[in-house]
A = this chain, B = another copy of it.
Amino acid sequence: MEVKLLSHTPEPERVVATAARLCYAPEAAAEVWSGFTPEKQQAFIGKLVNYGHFSPFEHVVFTFAITGVSRALSHQLVRHRIASYSQRSQRYIDEAAFAVVVPPTVAADPAAREEFARVIGQIQAGYNRLTALGVPKEDARYLLPNACQTQLIMTMNARSLLHFFRLRCCRRAQWEIRELAWKIRREVVKVAPLLFREAGPACLVAGKCAEGTMTCGRPYTREEVDKVGSGQVGLDDPGGTAEAGETTTD
């Protein structure tokens, strides 16, 4: 899995601060904009985060190129409706040599790994035979597995990202989308640290688990979030480390 921040609203923190300040300021928008020094931005955004006033966060967006993820992930991902997606089409692209994502629990067990690779090989062979028989690519792909790699361009605004992190940075989120969430978080923290200072799973942000009786029982601490967020430590996934789950071709 690779997450590349392709583009984003320039000066994101100034945009958010200006939008928020405009609601309560007697002066004109242009003055609000020009009057925001980095220091003032910092103080002002701190207040917004404390009050939970996140609507101004919608004004800044982040566009990512996401590659080497599975179709299992992308099917979940596009359920986040306040976002825009462009995805590699299996209808038109020839998958004569597709790559796959191997789940950590499979990668960690030699027998499982061998079985997984064997079936993937059978699928690849079947796909190729179907297209050789004249079946259109868009129909041969009915054989392709969830593990099949895809790539997307995704654009999401900062408010929607905060919601995404609440749900998907959680230890109970599915491991692949959880890895994606943390990798996206790393990228946006670099370019907009004030906006995403408090971003993370519900246990951190709301101070309360959102999974009820299905809680993992291990709420994130700020220290842990900072370490995972900066890549100092990996995601301790129940089924294996995220590193072991790194996408591979087969």
Contacts and interface: CB of A to CB of B under 8 A. Distances in A.
Interface string A60-74: 010101110011101
Contacts of A74: 75
A87 B56 CA distance: 10
A100 B130 CA distance: 16
Given A23-B89, A47-B212, 14 more contacts: A9-B61, A10-B10, A19-B153, A24-B92, A26-B94, A30-B67, A55-B84, A56-B86, A106-B139, A115-B126, A118-B126, A119-B143, A123-B143, A142-B145
A245 to B, nearest CB: 9
Interface of A: 4, 6-11, 15, 18-20, 22-26, 28-30, 33, 47, 50-52, 55-56, 58-59, 61, 63, 65-67, 70-72, 74-75, 78-79, 81-82, 84-94, 100-106, 109, 111-112, 115-116, 118-120, 122-123, 125-126, 129-130, 133-136, 138-139, 141-147, 151-153, 155, 157, 174, 206-208, 210-214, 239
A83 to B, nearest CB: 9
Contacts of A79: 78, 85
7 contacts: A19-B86, A19-B153, A30-B67, A55-B84, A59-B63, A78-B78, A90-B146
B174 A105 contact: no
Residue of A90, A103, A206, A213 with most chain B CB atoms under a 10 A cut-off: A103
Contacts of A102: 142
A207 B129 CA distance: 41
A91 B146 CA distance: 12
B147 A145 contact: no
B86 A112 contact: no
A74 B139 CA distance: 15
A129 B94 CA distance: 29
A143 B120 contact: yes
A41 to B, nearest CB: 14
A53 to B, nearest CB: 9
